[in-house]
Structure 1
Amino acid sequence: MSLRLIVLFISLFMATPAALAVPPIQKATLSNGSTVLLMEAHNVPMLSMSLVLPAGSAFDAKGKEGTATMLAGMLTDHTAMHDNIAWADMLDQDAIQLAASASYDTLTLSLTVLKDALNPGLDAFSEVLKQPGWNQQRFTIMKQDTLAAAQKEKEEPGVQAAQAAAETLFGDHPYGHRPAGTMQSLAGLTLNDVKDLFGRQIKPQGAVLAVSGDITLAELLPLLEAKLDGWQGKPAQTLAGIAQPEVTAAKSVDVQMPTSQTMVHMTRLGVARSDAGFFPVFVLNHMLGGGGFGSRLMEEVREKRGLVYGVYSYFSPLAVPGPFVISLQTRADQAEQAETVVRSVLAELAAGKITSAQLKASKENLVGSFAQRMDSNRERVGLISMIGIYGLPLDYLSVWTERVAAVTLDAVRTQASRFLKPESWSRVRVGSKLD
């Protein structure tokens, strides 16, 4: 491992400030149309940045599910100028941490680098965007690896439950498949499919480049203009073009697998990122199952009855309403009882059985843990890029704790009635001998 890489790793662990004070997010627009959002952090001489584009799995062509994930892999494997071995050596030489990933809405290209290696880091960043490599042999190898991983995932109850839940909830909607794709869709992918998605969606207009670290806007903008010169264009589609998912009747789906445990996924439509009820829903989910051992589901399903090792809930706010999920795993002979208890908890909360003390405890826990969401440049750019791509206010982080603290009991009860009625939740079970 190079000395520079060792220093980078040490810096990552030293990046937590003694006391959290949220610096302002500064905004600028490059000449190519990209939005730049910067949060200065001068305590460590390093930077992280994330370029977020509307090129996630929602933009996969029909029958080509998994394209965005394959594109993310190809972009950081090699370029037109460097094969995969030379590319890896070049990045390692300056401890350049370069990665890409695809989610439902977006494809993200990320860079973390020491400040004195910013120039070579940005050179690599721009090379990915302006001179991507489309080596057929590398694509074939990566496709084989992806198919092998997908085959292995067929043995994972959690993966099968997540895929079945997505299909049950969203059907033919673009969110109706996992970003990784399926065995069938991956088998049919070609290099041209990946190149087509790049050509359609990897464009600067509408893209958001979030940056956090030891740099000022006056230093950053000239560098970006120079490095990204020549990268032009507008994406064929934007997040605004993603259709609203249809609300459908709750369903029950069983997936047979030879397992001793039964995985239970319960799901329904949640909120979009822009939903006015986001903060009350956020607090409500913490009370329901997002708050670990302090949550209602953990108390009722595990602590009182010992039916599971763990049970949790989460919701994914996307460009349009994403999934709201409750997940647990238990013995096959206890699955029905566990689901009954979960639905009982949902019914109680939907009926407004929430006390002021419970609300106060949840809000205090969330406010107290906020610093952990901001304790590194990488985490900050994740939040900043989310603000940019979904068009949230630039003061979103600085007033976050105030917004949580301001959530009222009436607001939480309203959202509980809106989302937690048990009859609105579909259920997927994965296991053996399901009746």
Structure 2
Amino acid sequence: MFFASGDISFDHLVRLLEKATAGFAPSAPRSGKGRGATLPAYVPCEEVVSRGTHQAHVMIGNRAYDVHDRRRFILYLMNNMLGGPGMNARLNIALREKNGLVYTVDSSMVSYSDTGLWCTYFGCDPHDVKKCRRLVARELDKLASKPLSATALAAAKRQIKGQIGVACDNRENFALDFGRSYLHHGIEKDVARLMARVDEVTAEDMQTVAREIFDKDRLTTLMFV
């Protein structure tokens, strides 16, 4: 993939690239729908590793959705509410702003061709780990036990769409995402389609996904202390 940003003629850029790639053999992008080896059964567990670090590092997560599963858009929105970059992220408010227990807390998700991952991370004093885990569990349970109000859902959608819009202003990252999407899936990155997927999410969708991904019996915990 080539990326260019600046005062350059598009036609001139095309001529330069055609000259530079004249010896490349043409090939079609991979569809990304191929499957490799069968995934092993997911077995949740809890592991504690002693590292003698100043603070405890805790990750809690679950297997999630692959890139072909449209439920990933639901989890994408919900993950942003829980531990996204905004200061109003629920985990940030519960663990840091209200209780001052953590130095860092966030959550993330990733979708691969055959599986996915959702997890949350926090770093705290070792003696606060149990309390932090209870607070995380409480926030996850809130989303699983009760649908979001129409007001809360609309606010979450507005926020993530605003974040997507701001991210698009970073032309280099946008170009890299565009190229990655075409390389892996054979389709162009479509921001309007992504916005539409976000708008389609309902409160019931989010509760259903929360019950599956945040099921306490399906969560794996890794702690470095």
1:324 aligned onto 2:118: yes
One-letter amino acid of the counterpart of residue 106, structure 2: Y
Cα distance change, pair 395–262 in 1 and its aligned pair in 2 (3 A): closer
Q: Aligned with 1:398: secondary structure?
A: helix
2:196 aligned residue (393, 402, 409):
402
Match of 1:359 in 2: 153
Match of 1:230 in 2: 23
**Are the equivalent residues in 1 in contact too, given 2:106–2:121 (CA < 8 A)?**
yes
1:392–1:336 distance in 2 versus 1, CA, 3 Å? farther
The answer (yes or no) to whether the contact 1:273–1:390 under 8 Å persists in 2 is: no
- Give the % identical residues: 20
Q: Report deviation, 1:397.
A: 1.5
CA RMSD after TM alignment: 2.7
Match of 2:136 in 1: 342
Gaps of 5+ in 1: 1-50, 52-109, 117-213
After TM superposition, give the deviation of residue 245 of structure 1 in Å: 3.3
Query: 1:250: which partner in 2?
Result: 44
1:237-282 Cα deviation digits (max 9, x unpaired):
9952444533422111111112221000112212222221122111
Q: What TM-score do the two structures reach when normalised by structure 1?
A: 0.46
Q: CA deviation at 1:302?
A: 2.3
Structure 1 residues 185-230: Cα deviation after superposition (integer angstroms, max 9, x where no partner): xxxxxxxxxxxxxxxxxxxxxxxxxxxxx525xx555543432222
CA offset at residue 428 of structure 1?
0.7
CA shift for structure 1 position 380: 1.9
Q: TM-score, normalised by structure 2?
A: 0.85
If asked which structure has higher relative contact order (CA below 8 Å, sep 6+), I would say 2
1:136 counterpart residue number: none
Aligned residue pair count: 223
**Superposition pairs for residues 59-208 of structure 1, below 5 Å?**
111-112=3-4
Asked whether the equivalents of residues 177 and 189 of structure 2 are also in contact (C-alpha less than 8 Å), the reply is no
Q: 1:259 to 1:346 in 2, by over 3 A?
A: same
Please point out which of 88, 102, 112 is paired with 1:294: 88
Compared CA separation, residues 376 and 305, structure 1 to 2 (3 A): closer
Conservation of the 8 A alpha-carbon contact between 2:178 and 2:189: no
Q: Does the 8 Å CA contact 2:44/2:220 hold for their aligned counterparts?
A: yes
The corresponding residue for 2:10 is: 215
Change in 2 beyond 3 A, CA 1:257/1:286: same
| Partner Cα separation in structure 2 for residue 392 and residue 417 of structure 1 | 33
> How far apart are the structure 1 equivalents of 2:156 and 2:37?
34
Q: Indicate the structure (1 or 2) with the bigger Cα radius of gyration.
A: 1
Q: Secondary structure at the match of 2:179?
A: helix
CA offsets per residue over residues 380-434 of structure 1, 9 Å max, x none? 2122113212326536213332322232112222221221112211111111xxx
Q: Contact between 1:350 and 1:419, CA under 8 Å: does it hold in 2?
A: no
